Every structure is written in structure tokens, then in C-alpha cells.
Amino acid sequence: MTVVEFGRILKGDGRSLYQIVDVREPTELQAASIKGDDIINLPLSQAGEWSVKIVEGDILDANRPTLCLCHVGMRSMKMANFLVQQAGFKEVYNIDGGIQQYSEIVDPSVGAI
């Protein structure tokens, strides 16, 4: 998914239909982040702590569309692949270009990394 499409979802009425997962580290969130209580931070470096919980359905809902975000799109692609291949999620999107491109193209107010 492009950052422009992602921006439309964030600003639209349908935002609540999606789970938004940010896999960046807490220090990265301090530098640049999207506002909202609906952003779920699951740092990829801590996958050992949350991966089983996702597979078992304790974290996230496999039936809801899920948007994965990171700095430029590489870590979020790993998360998207995990959700589809190991956790049985059906509708998962990686945000191409991540928060960096989102801040450059769509919304500079999120900050820069």
C-alpha cells in the first residue's frame, strides 16, 4: 500500500476498520509517530515476546484488515509476511516507504527520522 493510500485511511471514516501495527522501536516512535490510540506498537526486535500471542489470537484479530508500518517498509514487510504465513491473517498490507515517506509526502507533522 502506498503512503498516500495509507493517509486516506488514517484521515477517513473507515480508519476504525483497520488494525495499525507499528514495528519500530520506542526510540523511533519518539522521533516520528502517527497520532492515535489505535496504533499498536509491536517492535520487531521483541518478536519473541509477542509472536506466540498473535498466533494464539491474544494480540490482534486475524479477521480484521491489518496495516503494517515501520521506518521505510522492510521490517513491516517481515511483520506482514509473519501475519499471513504463520498467523493465518487474510488481509494484511505493508506501508511501502514507511513513516519516512509518509512524513515526506503526506503529513510532515508526524516528524522526521
Which of the residues 60, 67, 70, 106 is marked catalytic? 70
Rounded Cα distance between 26 and 31, Å, is 9
Of the candidates 110, 112, 79, the residue with the CA atom closest to the CA atom of residue 94: 79
68 is catalytic: no
Cβ–Cβ < 8 Å for 66, 91: yes
- Sheet of strand 39-41: strand arrangement: 39-41, 19-22, 66-69, 92-94
Cβ–Cβ < 8 Å for 59, 76: no
Which residues are catalytically annotated? 70
